[in-house]
Amino acid sequence: MTAKLSPQLHRLERLALRYRGGLTSYNSGKRLTNKHGTSLEFADYRPYLPGDDPRRVDWSLYGRSHRLYTRLNRSEVDATVNFLIDGSGSMDWGTPHKGERALELTLSLAYLSLQAYDRVSVAVGAKAPTRYLPPLYGKGSFTQVLHFLEEQEFDQEGDLNTLLYSYYASVRPHQLTVILSDFLSPGGYEQGLLRLLAARQNVIVFHLVSPDEVEPEERGPLQLVDTETKVKKEVDVDPYLLQRYRDGVHRHGAQIQEFCRIRGIHYSLYNTEQNPVDFLLANATRLFRTL
């Protein structure tokens, strides 16, 4: 694609993706984990054991209970945020272009994740991750992410379930995985998402739709060509067929949203007509925390 991605990233400063549950990492960072450590945020008490640091004894609690208890705090670690972009041919469509918007959205989220000292990895593929940027750390890594995204193409026949299954092997437990797709996959998506949940991922889904998919302008006799399989179909777009199409689009999105809601997956419908930074700021209270 070699797109020049230039969202207004400065508007996202001081935001970081919300992360539910405990983290696992070997590196010091800015997020709190359920592991006990030496940060200043209190987690719990346990009875004092020989060898515990006396400075961690809660003497006020001793004054009330006449028993020694050690304060346990939550350690701070850096999280790993994995981005998986659907690279199938159906993403090569729309005005604004779905694929380009997915790249801009990923760049925006990667920017604020690197600003928050999270590690960032990016994978792109249609049936398997064919292009992969391994985890990067630090604000200086942003240029690598930018160059990687600017070179991506959306030109393959896809299967989202297969893509998610293949990606399963790339993640470690208790990471954050962000999926960007139009969910136009005859093979479905359900089993792939369940596989990621089984891998103990915190999952965020961005469902991309273009304005001309939501409300097509074409009318009358048409020949439709599948962008991935090149299969052709003759249709006559009349008001009755158009309404059936609108109902189908709405039903498809509602089914994905409900599937995600039941399983604790954060779902966002993104109409590519909206600037990606405006979209993220409009959803800031649901998606982000302030640094």
- CB–CB of 84/177 below 8 Å? yes
Check whether residue 37 and residue 175 sit in a common domain: no
Domain assignment present for residue 178? The answer is yes
How many structural domains is the chain composed of?
2
Determine which helix (DSSP H) or strand (DSSP E) holds 40, and give its type and residue range.
Answer: strand 28-47
The CATH number linked to 183 is 3.40.50.410
Q: Name the residue type at position 44.
A: D
Write out the two tokens for 150.
Answer: 């600017």
Strand partners, 271: 209
151 or 35: which carries more pLDDT confidence?
151
Q: Which domain holds residue 43?
A: 28-77
Reduced to 3 states (helix: H, G, I; strand: E, B; else coil), residue 191 is: helix
183 or 31: which carries more pLDDT confidence?
183
Mean per-residue pLDDT over the chain, rounded = 85
The model's confidence at residue 227, banded by pLDDT at 50, 70 and 90, is confident
Check whether residue 197 and residue 252 sit in a common domain: yes
Domain assignment present for residue 51? The answer is yes
Check whether residue 253 and residue 160 sit in a common domain: yes
Check whether residue 69 and residue 117 sit in a common domain: no
Domain assignment present for residue 262? The answer is yes
Check whether residue 73 and residue 205 sit in a common domain: no
Q: What is the pLDDT of residues 43-69, one digit of tens each?
A: 566 787 777 778 888 888 888 888 888
Domain assignment present for residue 1? The answer is no
The model's confidence at residue 210, banded by pLDDT at 50, 70 and 90, is very high
Weakest-pLDDT range from 80-84, 95-99, 104-108, 215-219: 215-219
pTM of the complete model: 0.81
- CB–CB of 153/131 below 8 Å? no
Check whether residue 156 and residue 194 sit in a common domain: yes
Taking the CA of residue 195 as centre, how many other CA atoms within 13 Å lie in the half-sphere pointing to its CB?
A: 16
Domain assignment present for residue 4? The answer is no
Check whether residue 86 and residue 37 sit in a common domain: no
Give the span between the Cα atoms of 238 and 220, in whole angstroms.
6
DSSP state for residue 57 in the 8-state scheme: B
Q: Name the residue type at position 71.
A: R
Q: What is the pLDDT of residues 174-205, one digit of tens each?
A: 899 999 999 999 899 999 999 999 999 999 99
Domain assignment present for residue 218? The answer is yes
Check whether residue 159 and residue 205 sit in a common domain: yes
Domain assignment present for residue 281? The answer is yes
Check whether residue 93 and residue 35 sit in a common domain: no
Check whether residue 183 and residue 238 sit in a common domain: yes
36 or 71: which carries more pLDDT confidence?
71
Quick one: what percent of the chain has pLDDT higher than 90?
Answer: 52
Q: Name the residue type at position 150.
A: E
Give the span between the Cα atoms of 129 and 114, in whole angstroms.
22
Instruction: Give the number of other CB atoms < 10 A from CB of residue 97.
Output: 18
Query: What pLDDT score was predicted for residue 11?
Result: 85
